[in-house]
Amino acid sequence: MSDQMARNFRASEFACHDGTPWPADEQEALKRVANTCQIIRDAWGGPVTVVSAYRHPGYKSQHRKPKSQHAARGPLKHSPPCAVDLAPDDCTEGRSLAFYLTIRRLMDEGKIPKGGLGRYPGSFTHVDDRCFYGYRAAKWGPKA
């Protein structure tokens, strides 16, 4: 199977930080996420970096924050494998905000799947397709 999942994204970019690839039995989810990333990149008009995507259960248990740091959010989510954290190249605070707003517009217009959308200022934007799995959409970050 080819590593190329979308025009500008390869399967290896979505692997766990420890190198574990996206599960073979979840390739349809990987294609969905890669296609979403491609739509975001095309709308953004420039390179986009996959900061984090697949996290296997062992990785998640080793990197779980203390409960006090999770607040009401609960455990790390990136499972089922449907989430990705993205950042534009040369990610400054202003570019981070513009990037988030671009993704928010795409989601609001129905150009990418509804799901989770969250901004981590000056860093990355979290995008997931939780609605595909029957969960309610969630957004955190600026309302603009």
pLDDT digits (tens, 9 = 90+) for 71-118: 334 444 445 558 899 999 988 888 999 999 999 999 999 999 999 999
Q: Does 133 or 59 have the greater pLDDT score?
A: 133
Q: Options 3.40.50.720, 3.10.620.30, 1.10.3720.10, 3.30.1380.10; which CATH number does 4-140 get? A: 3.30.1380.10
CB contact at 8 A, 23 and 16: no
**How many CB atoms within 10 Å of residue 105?**
12
44-77 confidence digits (pLDDT tens): 999 999 999 988 777 656 766 554 443 334 444 4
Provide the whole-model pTM. 0.83
pLDDT band at 127 (very low <50, low <70, confident <90, very high): very high
The sheet carrying 124-128 orders its strands as: 48-52, 83-88, 124-128, 116-120, 138-140
